[in-house]
Amino acid sequence: MTAEERRNLRAFQDYVIKILDPTYILSYMSPWFKDDEVQYIRAEKNNKGTMEAASLFLKFLLELQEEGWFRGFLDALAHAGYSGLYEAIESWDFQTIERLEEYRSLLKRLQPEFKTTVNPKDILPEVSKCLISQECEEIMQVCSNKGLMAGAEKMVECFLRSDKENWPKTLKLALDKEESKFSELWTVDKGAKNIDVKVLEDDEMETSDIQIFYKEESECQNLSQNSCPSSEVSHIYTPVKPRNYQLELALPAKEGKNTIICAPTGCGKTFVSLLICEHHLKKFPQGQKGKVVFFAVQLPVYEQQKSVFSNYFERLGYKVAGVSGATSENVSVKQIVENNDIIILTPQILVNSLKNGTIPSLSVFTLMIFDECHNTGKHHPYNMIMFNYLDQKLGGSSDPLPQVIGLTASVGIGDAKSTAEAVEYICRLCASLDTSVIATVKDNLEELEEIVYKPQKFFRKVESRTTDRFKCIISQLMRETESLAKSIFDEIGTITLEGISQIQNREFGTQKYEQWIVTVQKACTVFQLPDKDEESRICKALFLYTSHLRKYNDALIINEHARMKDALDYLKDFFTNVRAAGFDEIEQDLTRRFEEKLQKLESVSMDPSNENPKLKDLCFILQEEYHLNPESRTILFVKTRALVDALKKWIEENSELSFLKPGILTGRGKTNQNTGMTLPAQKCALDAFRTNGDKKILIATSVADEGIDIAECNLVILYEYVGNVIKMIQTRGRGRARGSKCFLLTSNAAVIEKEKINIYKEKMMNDSISMLQTWNEAVFKEKVLQIQIQEKVIRDRQGKVEPVPDKENKKLLCRKCKAFACYTVDIRVVEECHYTVVGDAFRKCFVSKLHPKPKSFGYFEKRAKIFCARPNCSHDWGIHVKYKIFEIPVIKIESFVVEDIATGAQKLYAKWKDFHFEKIPFDAKEMSK
């Protein structure tokens, strides 16, 4: 069981808790669970209920360290009949279970009618295949002991936990067969959307299943009155009257002007964009049509906006569709654009489509909307799109250009030190987006302030530990490891460890040390010696020493901001993975050194006197705020994913805070240290925080800064977390409720100082916008045009010269041990972005192990992971897939060192696109030979 799978199980635990009755699988889990734990779980079900028992079961499950428990858990689910849950966990894809949510919600509301109209004994034979066998026995027992109504109530309870995809349809067929009156209410073909409106009015609405209709709660009158309408309401359209400030924001865009709309988070900018789109599409005369593209950078925002636009516009007869990186391999971008009126895209999709000619030009669109438009700069995909637009504009093309709208809570001011510099920065953003109007709320400020509350900001300077025995022990291990690395450099004799990097004053447990060790590791990977066996030995040794130093440094950062216990658990997981891989003499030595200190580290981490004072202060703030308002909703921002996991465990294990039931939200991207949350996991976390009243706190990294629709909360805590003025406004904007507060908690006075500078910069930004709004529009347009011309001259002068592919044959060597892998002449490009190696020779260079998460995407079926075959190396080289009818390896360039055969020079590449060798397309005929 890898740390990643353990983390996934934690991320998806809400689904498991909703479905699983742990008492049905306890007998299968006896090899892993103690007798007293089994009794605790049974008692929890009897005293508090099934969901509480499932929660306790998962707590015990995730604490297990014995080999094989995860597979045992999956087998137990299969034996007990939880086939849907089994499949979801094995693939980490809960979309099928998620789709059942609307039927659960409908059944909850119709429960009174079900109890009085359905005879559970009559339909049980037909629906038993959708229930667990023990549930069927319990339903019959309840019918016998307590009567049919109680049995029907028990049946509803079982259906609400069913993980079978077809239970709604099976129930419908059983009801029809018995000619039950309830069948008229149970509409399956179109789901809960067809439920009679009267049923909604008659029954009390459930607040446990929330689906916010628009991006932000205060975007329309009927929704802002109730921050948690039931999920069914979103399917019944009620005309919405826009607020006056929203009409003010939309006015310049409705007049056809390219506009940046700058307004606070929570005011309903998405609703403003809906108004602009509707006006734009309706203005075209008979026989002409508009085409709108809406860009969202982050996938969760893309998913959310696609849903919002679909719900709003499809009732008006417009076609809405979307393409993202997650779906682009399975759809035709060209057809999606041609066949729809509104297209939601992640911007890189359009960048790629313009580059390969799938979309001939931006003239196919009549309106482009950039969400979080402050990102339009440097090499961001937004800027790549606008480069295309500006080349068309300044190149004298007669083709019409689309109108451009930007949405943001903060345009930012970059590094500006004065209002004049801030004005120049904002003008450059306007030039990038070809806008000469910045729309802010001026005439309806009072109304805006009634809706969007600016939270009070508090700075809390807290103390760090005065003595840190954990840090002392780990620092000693790091010094020993550095010394071992230095001894290798002594063998080389031509360079020193200190001489590799210019970074000075590197202290253990800092970001600066992280930067230093990454630089050193990259340099060590391309060391060259005349004796290639010696080169392999030395490079591998340095790779291992630097990898261990990096992990130790990570642990010290966790220790600084969380508990010693969390930092120690992080290291224990790392060494568990080390043992499971190559585990050569160096790794054995480093593991032995760690294990010699382990008892002392365990003792230190369990000593109450070593509690982190920062956590005491965080605990005090949370207790105080929840004492004042037990219904508080909190977002806790932290810097790293490791810290997210650590603080979640701390809250869950703290008896004074465990009632908060924390959720987590981190990015999807993969770093060198770990993988991010999958999109379904992000959606699950957000839905749980929005809809589950028990989930009172969400711990998040910067992914929650921008755009993602987070339920209204009244407490934002920035835990050692600070960025630029844009980040400050975005994070603070998450606290939307009246009387909301924002705490910055840090032990570093410089962090507080930086945040105070951000507050000053926010005022400078607002003053600069006000100044620009006084400019004559023609003057503003001329200023923007001059910037655009200057920037195009620079862009053209630099020129994007396509690099000439190097046709010389190169070697790929294992990045860890320098073992030969393949030649570049044997590499083939599959579907333009995946790289395989042809020929039998390469197959002898790697070994494969079944992939822990096999899945299919496009023509690919991921089956196994491949590793360096050299004994005691086992470096991860990529994956083994079935592509159409071919079984092929797919390698990743970051796992290799590239060596020039002629000169012997070695280089590292992070991405294939940076490696300019002659790329030969994959050819099925070549494989058949």
Provide the annotated binding site: 814, 817, 868, 873
539: tokens are 């490079």
Cα separation of 892 and 883, whole Å? 17
In the sheet that holds 827-830, the strands lie side by side as: 834-837, 827-830, 920-921
Q: How far is CA 607 from the centre of its chain?
A: 35
CB 301 within 8 Å of CB 274 = no
Q: How far is CA 174 from the centre of its chain?
A: 41
Query: Judging by beta carbons within 10 Å of its beta carbon (0-12, 13-18, 19+), is residue 273 exposed, middle or buried?
Result: buried
Cα separation of 772 and 253, whole Å? 17
Contacts of 320 (CB under 8 A, 6+ apart): 306, 309, 310, 313, 314, 340, 341, 342, 343, 344
Question: Which residue, 698, 697, 696, 751, is CA-closest to 728?
Answer: 751
Q: Which helix (H) or strand (E) holds 464?
A: none
In the sheet that holds 320-323, the strands lie side by side as: 320-323, 342-345, 292-295, 367-371, 403-408, 259-262, 437-439
Question: Which residue, 385, 423, 422, is CA-closest to 404?
Answer: 385
The residues with which 883 forms a beta bridge, in sequence order, are 860, 886
Sign, Cα dihedral of 658, 89, 683, 201: negative
Amino acid residing at 866: I
492: tokens are 């080389």
Classified as helix, coil or strand, 820 is strand
Query: For residue 609, what are the CA distances in angstroms to 62, 467, 473, 617, 852?
Result: 27, 10, 17, 15, 41
Q: Which helix (H) or strand (E) holds 861?
A: strand 860-868
Tell me the pairing of strands 920-921 and 827-830: parallel
Cα separation of 200 and 405, whole Å? 38
Residues at the annotated binding site for Zn(2+)? 814, 817, 868, 873
The span from the first CA to the last CA of the chain, in angstroms, equals 40
Half-sphere CA count of 805, side-chain side, radius 13 A:
11
Cα separation of 739 and 735, whole Å? 9
Cα separation of 345 and 578, whole Å? 41
